[in-house]
Every structure is written in C-alpha cells, then in structure tokens.
Amino acid sequence: MALARLVLASGRSVDLAELRFTSTYGDLLEGYPCKPVNDLRIRGLLRAAARARPGTPVHLVAPPRAYPDQYAGGLGPVEVLPAVACVGTFHSTALDPARDPVAYRSRLTVVWFQATPRLPSGCDAEPGLRDLDWPGLARDARAVA
C-alpha cells in the first residue's frame, strides 16, 4: 500500500512506497552548517539510499541553500539546508509498455530536503518532486510480491 500518491507535472502518477525523515543537522556535533558539511551530508544520504535499494536508481532534488548573514568560520560562509532530509522510494507503472503491467513497475529513490517533516502529497509536495523526469530517471524492475 502506498503512503501517498503524487501526480507529476508530466501527468504521471507515482506512489510513495517508503519514506525516511532525518534531521539535516541533528548529528552535527562540531562546526557549523557550510558547503563542505552540506555536501558531505548529501553524499552520505545518496550512498545510504543506493545501499538500501540496490538496483533502484537514486536521484537528488537539488536543495535550496540559504546564506544567512553570520560569521564565516574556517570552512567558509554559513550555508543552511532545509531542516528535514528525506529519502523516499517511489513506484509507478512500467516505463516499457511491452512489459507485463502486473509483473513490472518502474521505481526511483529520491533524496530531497524540506522545511518540515510532512508527507509529500498532491500540490503540497516540493516542486522538485513534482517536476521529476520519471522516464529519464526511473527504471523498470520486477514487482515485489
């Protein structure tokens, strides 16, 4: 059963099958939010998503980066990502119309950031989610029974 259904800008419906929320900076023990820290966090999320679902492509929705007027430390200016890091796995009908629609589904794992821990659905989903190029990013695979 899907957690939520999104309708992409292309008109394709995709189902959110799994979603994990984490605090973007919850494990930041030292330092401050900056580009090197943020890039490391993003790479870690992408690696974890790929390990969790081998064979399923992973896509990053480029996060908005804010630059508050704060003191810049040795790692450069303060750069802040939205507070919640999200990793979601989406499914839809098979991309290849020749495939059995019962036996095959297209899938994609997406990493994105948002301000609050809310379930993405309908028009409330982040614009980067609604604008996914599903045919260019997802991959067909056998449906799990």
More confident residue, 101 or 92: 92
- 80 forms bridges with which residues in the sheet? 66
14 contacts 88 by C-beta, under 8 angstroms: no
Residue 29 has pLDDT above 90, yes or no: no
Please give the pLDDT value at position 80. Answer: 96
pLDDT in tens, 135-144: 999 999 998 7
Overall domain count for the chain = 1
More confident residue, 126 or 110: 110
Gap between the Cα atoms of 142 and 104, Å rounded: 4
More confident residue, 124 or 113: 113
Instruction: Name the residue range of residue 32's domain.
Output: 4-68+75-142
Residue 53 has pLDDT above 80, yes or no: yes
- For all residues of the chain together, what is the average pLDDT? 91
* Global pTM value: 0.92
Sign of CA dihedral 40, 81, 112, 85: positive
